[in-house]
Amino acid sequence: MDSQCKSDYSLFSFGDGLSTIVLLVYVDDIIIAGPDNDNIKRVEAKLKAVLKLKVLGDLKLFLGLELAKSSKGIFLSQRKYTLSLLEDTNFLGCKPASFPMDTNLMLRAVHQILRYLKSAPTQGILFSATNKFNLSVYADANWGSCLDTRRSTTGYCAFLSDSLVFWKSNKQAVVSRSSTEAEYRAIANASYEIV
């Protein structure tokens, strides 16, 4: 089955099962992925026949994301970007913080985030190599957390097997009258996004 993704027109997939090939085009870069290296080589050969193509090997860096592949899975991080950000803001020599946000601090929060980044520049996400296909979704709400509007903050994330594949945090559109209402809105928003 050959198809172009409806939500991202630069993403294409070919075949199914173990013969699946996924192709992502970004400006003048092409990423080819799939479970079978022979199929990947065949696609590369077909592309070389029609395009001036330079194959760089395994993906290591893409759009500021650093990728490391192992038998456990694929690890994504933004170490270089984080260190550059700390250097640009003169926080490279700051005292590291072990958590990203002080819950009681409302002003000058950027400094706390930068100090947290200093403590963990290599922190990232591991996309596990396990083949289990179970979806887990977690949602939460912080009732009335915005001091100006009294709107609640919603946060939710989704895991496929034990790999984080989606996450989001935002203010709710309306003021919730109770923590229960805020929680139900969080669950509804998470369900909508997952579907």
pLDDT tens track for 71-121: 888 899 999 889 988 998 888 898 898 877 766 666 577 888 888 889 988
Residues 97 and 80 occupy one common structural domain = yes
The pLDDT, as a whole number, for residue 121 is: 87
Residues 11 and 51 occupy one common structural domain = yes
Domain limit, last residue, from 82, 102, 124: 124
Q: Kindly state the tokens that stand for 74.
A: 């694929």
The pLDDT, as a whole number, for residue 77 is: 92
The pLDDT, as a whole number, for residue 138 is: 92
Mean pLDDT in residue range 125-141: 84
Q: How many domains does the chain have?
A: 3
Residues 79 and 50 occupy one common structural domain = no
Which residue segment(s) compose the domain that 35 sits in?
Answer: 3-57
Tell whether 177 is covered by a domain. yes
Is the pLDDT assigned to residue 195 strictly greater than 60?
yes
Tell whether 111 is covered by a domain. yes
Residues 119 and 139 occupy one common structural domain = no
Mean pLDDT in residue range 124-153: 85
The pLDDT, as a whole number, for residue 105 is: 61
Distance CA 61, CA 57 (A): 11
Tell whether 145 is covered by a domain. yes
Return all residues near 84 (Cβ < 8 A) that are at least 6 apart.
none
The pLDDT, as a whole number, for residue 157 is: 92
Residue 136's alpha-carbon distances to 126, 147, 164, 183, in angstroms, are 16, 32, 9, 17
pLDDT tens track for 8-22: 889 999 888 888 899
Burial 91-104 (b: 16+ CB within 10 A, else e): beeeeebeeeeeee
Residues 39 and 81 occupy one common structural domain = no
Domain limit, last residue, from 124, 139, 169: 124
Tell whether 62 is covered by a domain. no
What percentage of the chain has pLDDT greater than the value 70?
96
